[in-house]
Amino acid sequence: MNAHAEHAGHHVVPVSTYLIIFAALIAGTLLTVGAAYYDIDFQVLGYTVPLNTTVALLIAGTKAALVVLFFMHVKYSSRLIWVFAAAGFLWLIILFTLTLADYQSRAW
């Protein structure tokens, strides 16, 4: 009865877009497998900071974002959907950071 102005969902995404995203996802998969075979380190102050997981998560995050935006049409959806989709990931981050904050700062 309100907010009928948003006819966003009727947006028909062209097949070519799907194919481009698909190609990017496949490329990302190959990239993440390839990268996993190399030691990716970062040297700082004499410490070696391993970055393999960070890289893997960055690639996975990018792939997920592509799926969410294009396959799941969030790019073409109302702001409400944007907010809720973001909230899901934000709450996941809250669960992660506050829990790990405990583990990072204790002896166990």
Partner 1 sequence: MTDARQPALPKLHYLNADYGIKSWLLTTDHKRIAILYLLGVTFFFFVGGLFAVLVRVELLTPAGDFVQAETYNKLFTMHGVFMVFFFLIPTIPAVLGNFLVPLMIGARDLAFPRINLLSWYIYMAGGAFTILAMAAGGVDTGWTFYTPYSSTYANTHVMLTGIGVFITGFSSILTGLNFIVTIHKMRAPGLTWFRLPLFIWAHYATSLIMILGTPVVAITVLLLALERAFRIGIFDPALGGDPVLFQHLFWFYSHPAVYIMILPGMGVVNELITCFSRKKIFGYHFIAFSSVAIALLGFLVWAHHMFVAGLSVYASLVFSVLSFLVAIPSAIKVFNWTATLYKGSVSYQAPMLYAMGFIGLFTLGGLTGLFLATLAVDIHVHDTYFVVAHFHYIMVGGMVMAYMGGLHYWWPKMTGRMYPDTWARFAALVIFIGFNLTFFPQFVLGYLGMPRRYHAYPEEFQVLNVMSTAGASILGVGYLIPFFYLMYSLRYGAIAGPNPWGAKGLEWETPSPPPTENFPVTPMVTEEPYEYGAPGAAPRGHVRPQEAPGD
Partner 2 sequence: MWTGIPLFPEQASTFAREVDLLYLFLVGVSGFFTVAIFTLVFYFAVRYRRRHADEIPPAVAESATLEIAWSVIPLGITMVMFGWGAKLYFEMRKPPSEALQMWVVGKQWMWKIQHPEGKREINELHVPVGRPVRLQMISEDVIHSFYIPAFRIKQDVLPGRYSELWFEATRPGEYHLFCAEYCGTKHSGMIGKVVVMEAAAYEQWLMGTPTGETMEQAGERLFVQNNCNTCHHDRADARGPVLQGAFGKPVRLESGQTVVVDEAYVRESILNPAGKVVAGYRPVMPTYQGQISEEGVLQLLAYIRSLRERPQK
Partner 3 sequence: MTEHGTASAVAHQFDDLEQQREAGSLGMWLFLITEIMFFGGMFTAYAVYRYAYYNAFIEGSSHLNVPLGAANTVVLIVSSLTMALAVHAAQRGKKKAMVAWLALTIVLGGAFLGVKVVEYKDKYDHGLIPGALWNPKHEGGVAPPAEMQLFFSLYFAMTGMHALHMVIGIGIMLALMRMALRGRFSPEYYAPVEVSGLYWHFVDIVWIFLFPLLYLIGLHVVKGHG
Cα–Cα distance for residue pair 85/64, rounded to 1 Å: 12
Name the minimum Å distance from CB 79 to partner 1.
12
The option from partner 3, partner 1, partner 2, none interacting with 71 (CB < 5 to 8 A, set by class) reads partner 3
Which residue in the set 17, 48, 97, 99 belongs to the binding site for partner 2 (CB under 8 A)? 48
- Residue 7 binding partner per list partner 2, partner 1, partner 3, none, with a CB distance cut-off of 5 to 8 Å that depends on partner kind: partner 3
Residues 6+ apart with CB under 8 A from 69: 75
d(CA 83, CA 90): 10
Q: Binding to partner 3 by residue 68, rule CB under 8 A?
A: yes
- Provide the angle, in degrees to the nearest 10, between the axes of the packed helices 52-66 and 15-36: 170
Closest approach of Cβ 71 to partner 1, in Å? 22
Calpha distance 96→57 (Å, rounded)? 14
Considering the complex, state which of residue 48 and residue 97 has its C-beta at the smaller distance from partner 2. 48
Neighbours of 63 (CB within 10 A): 19
Binding interface with partner 1 (CB under 8 A): 1-3, 80, 87-88, 91, 94-95, 98-99, 101-103, 105-106, 108
